[in-house]
Amino acid sequence: MLQHAGLVLNDGTTLDDLVMRNSNEVSLRVMTDKELYSHEMERIFAKTWLLLGHESEIPKAGDFIVRDMAEDNVIVARGRDGDVHVSLNVCPHRGMRVCLGEAGNKTIHQCIYHGWAFRPNGDFIGAPIEKEKMHGNDIDKATLGLKKARTHLYGGLIFATWNVDGPSFDEYLGDIKYYMDQLFCRTDNGLELLGPPQRFIVPCNWKVAGEQSGSDGFHTLTLHRSLMEGGVMGGTAETIYDQAPGMYGVDVSCAQGHSLRCLEAEKTFKMFADVPFEGKSVVERLNLLTPPGITKEMIPQLFNNLSADQVEQLATIPPQVGGMFPNVLIAFIFAPRTDGGSSGALALHTYVPKGPDHVEFVNFIFAEKDAPEQMKRDMLQNSIQATGTSGTIEQDDADVWPVIMRNARGAVSKHITLKYQALHGHERPEGWKGGGLLYPGFTKDDTQWNWWLAYYDLMSAA
Ligand code: FES
Ligand SMILES: [Fe+2]
């Protein structure tokens, strides 16, 4: 029997009424409910690891960026020690925001209200007129710093959590790390962010965007059909709906709710490669179809940083799109160049909650640090053309998400349930080397349902 969850809303609705684990349905009400939203802030966004940016944004001591961990504003700064620190951007004196900028370099962050000052690592320096002790006599100065989050760098990506005693970052990633490493930890000098992220507000709940990032491959066939008809997913306008090559692969997920869609390179991206791959070595395959963002010269670096099995997967059935629970989308995709090749597009999004009805869509665009300048320019162009709400792919999503929200407000419509009943059931393909929950074949609802199960777990935890 399923256990009764420990979350009950004021009207008596339980978590089990909203996320129905017996029937694989979710009430549309979850997208608008204000009370549920405030529980999500406490139980999810104050508990899990959240992506804030990339260390290439703050290379020097004193460099800082200001970001949001859901509704909590934080300063992400490089300290004198060279480490990255994440501190709550709320003055412990009377609650003013300490840093009012978006990015820059400062050795001291001074609050404009009464002048309390803090180091980039959040430590309290003092209040003006030191001899008057304007911080009082009761509290030790050492404890008057900004509240500090626990920080972790992964492939240069900056993650932070308020849950200082909770799971480590590796525990949070779980079995998906093997696959994520193939995207974020594959080269000697790693990734570089191409300029500050694009940021815009979309009028939808964070979960509308978040659950799609749980590897909803199916919507690509219909909503993003221009992508299919344009021939960049291995088919043509004539063949795409009966053959749908971009729909087949191995979807991977794990109990933590993260997922990735791995697509067979020679079937899905044959317009970029001299296929078939049969009889060709891993290195030959990599040379025929270099992974998005990688040059032929960088191929030896893959072997320096990944296991032979990981490189083989990257050459044969690479992870392409997916997400990290709760609010990250990953799109490390092949993207055509006008000369017929593919330099790829590497984009990450965070969907930062801004109340139950709005999300800030933050679009990070990357290239490998070692890539040639021309390739970086191509990749920036590809990513802007394809991603973000003005991109050819994601403007489709920005059309749909707000309409779902309008429906969720209707007295009758809000009782509709979201259905996750097209399930494959996990199954290990022969010879598959990585771990996790594996779903080979046509992309179905499994990984998205796992996303909701991860949501359920966190929301039901006391
Ligand atoms: S609120 Fe910051 S110094 Fe008073
Ligand atoms: Fe989409």
Q: How far is the CA of 289 from the centre of ligand 1 (A)?
A: 56
Q: How far is the CA of 222 from the centre of ligand 2 (A)?
A: 10
State the burial class of residue 164 (Cβ atoms within 10 Å of its Cβ: 0-12, 13-18, 19+). exposed
Name which residue sits closest to atom 1 of ligand 1, judged by CA. Answer: 94
Please state the atom number of ligand 1 nearest to the C-alpha of residue 91.
Answer: 2
> Could you tell which of 114, 132, 144, 146 is best to mutate to test the pocket of ligand 1, judged by most ligand atoms within 8 Å of the CB?
114
Please state the atom number of ligand 1 nearest to the C-alpha of residue 111.
Answer: 2
The DSSP result for 156-177, as a single string, is TEEEEES-TTS--HHHHHGGGH
Question: Would you say the CB of residue 97 lies under 6 angstroms from ligand 1?
Answer: no
> What is the Cα–Cα distance from 165 to 163, expressed in whole angstroms?
6
Question: Would you say the CB of residue 91 lies under 6 angstroms from ligand 1?
Answer: yes
Are 214 and 144 part of one and the same domain? no
Q: Cis omega before residue 276 (within 30°)?
A: yes
In the chain, how many domains are there?
A: 2
Q: How far is the CA of 132 from the centre of ligand 1 (A)?
A: 16
Are 143 and 210 part of one and the same domain? no
How far does Cα 350 stand from its chain's mean position? 5
Are 149 and 210 part of one and the same domain? no
CATH of the domain at 328: 3.90.380.10
Give a yes or no: residue 382 inside a domain: yes
Strand, helix or coil at 376?
Answer: helix
Are 304 and 354 part of one and the same domain? yes
The pLDDT score that the predictor gives to residue 225 is: 84
Give a yes or no: residue 293 inside a domain: yes
Residue 367 in contact with residue 194, Cβ under 8 Å?
A: yes
Are 185 and 251 part of one and the same domain? yes
Give a yes or no: residue 40 inside a domain: no
CATH of the domain at 158: 2.102.10.10
Are 256 and 325 part of one and the same domain? yes
Which of 124, 139, 162 is the last residue in one of the domains? 162
Are 136 and 249 part of one and the same domain? no
- The radius of gyration of the chain from alpha carbons, rounded to an integer in Å, stands at 23
Give a yes or no: residue 421 inside a domain: yes
The pLDDT score that the predictor gives to residue 29 is: 96
Which of 119, 138, 162 is the last residue in one of the domains? 162
pTM higher than 0.85:
yes
Are 96 and 242 part of one and the same domain? no
Per-residue pLDDT of the chain (462 residues; tens, 9 = 90+): 444 458 999 999 999 999 999 999 999 999 999 999 999 999 999 999 999 999 999 999 999 999 999 999 999 999 999 999 999 999 999 999 999 999 999 999 999 999 999 999 999 999 999 999 999 988 889 999 999 999 999 999 999 999 999 999 999 999 999 999 999 999 999 999 999 999 999 999 999 999 999 999 999 889 988 877 776 655 666 776 667 778 899 999 999 999 999 999 888 887 777 778 889 999 999 999 999 999 999 999 999 999 999 999 999 999 999 999 999 999 999 887 666 667 889 999 999 999 999 999 999 999 999 999 999 999 999 899 888 877 888 999 999 999 999 999 999 998 999 999 999 999 999 999 999 999 999 999 999 999 999 999 999 996
> What is the Cα–Cα distance from 230 to 452, expressed in whole angstroms?
32
Are 231 and 141 part of one and the same domain? no
Give a yes or no: residue 113 inside a domain: yes
Give a yes or no: residue 91 inside a domain: yes
Are 359 and 390 part of one and the same domain? yes
Q: How far is the CA of 138 from the centre of ligand 2 (A)?
A: 54
Domain of residue 360 covers 174-460
Are 338 and 201 part of one and the same domain? yes
> What is the Cα–Cα distance from 417 to 16, expressed in whole angstroms?
13
Are 135 and 218 part of one and the same domain? no
Please list the alpha-helical segments (H only) found in 90-217: 169-173, 177-184, 206-212
Question: Would you say the CB of residue 114 lies under 6 angstroms from ligand 1?
Answer: yes
Name which residue sits closest to atom 3 of ligand 1, judged by CA. Answer: 114
